[in-house]
Structure 1
Amino acid sequence: MKTAFLFSGQGSQYCGMGKELCSHYPAAAAVFKQASWTLGYDIEGICFADNDRLNLTEYTQPAIVTT
């Protein structure tokens, strides 16, 4: 069996994306922490909070890759 990774495009982001995944899988939460450290800002806070920053391209693209 082969594995494939599919990434949705910009416009598919929504507040709370990845939150349930992080609550069930510690490895997913670790990915968010590593991404935040690498990016230099709290990507988890941007993805999980109800704010307009998630719709800005500079945050949307890293958020989609992180989730």
Structure 2
Amino acid sequence: TDVKDAEWLAKLLRCGLIESNFVPPEDIRDLRDLTRYRKKLIHHRTAEQNRIHKILQDANIKLTSVLSDIFGV
């Protein structure tokens, strides 16, 4: 059960048999948060680009035969 597991872990911790968890410094945590947020934004952008491309394909507008990247410069 959870109670017995908690008691066992507390006993191991008191005896020094369990190492403490690593908590990175605040600047590293902030960098990780920004990296995760950027990855999420890129994912959303790609999903929207794919959605627009599909809508154009369904409307028989075949831009990919003329352009290699329809969202490029």
Structure with the bigger percentage of helix: 2
Flag whether TM exceeds 0.5 (same fold).
no
Which structure has more relative contact order (CA 8 Å, sep 6+)? It is: 1
- Highest Rg: 1 or 2? 2
The TM-score range, normalised by the shorter chain, is under 0.3
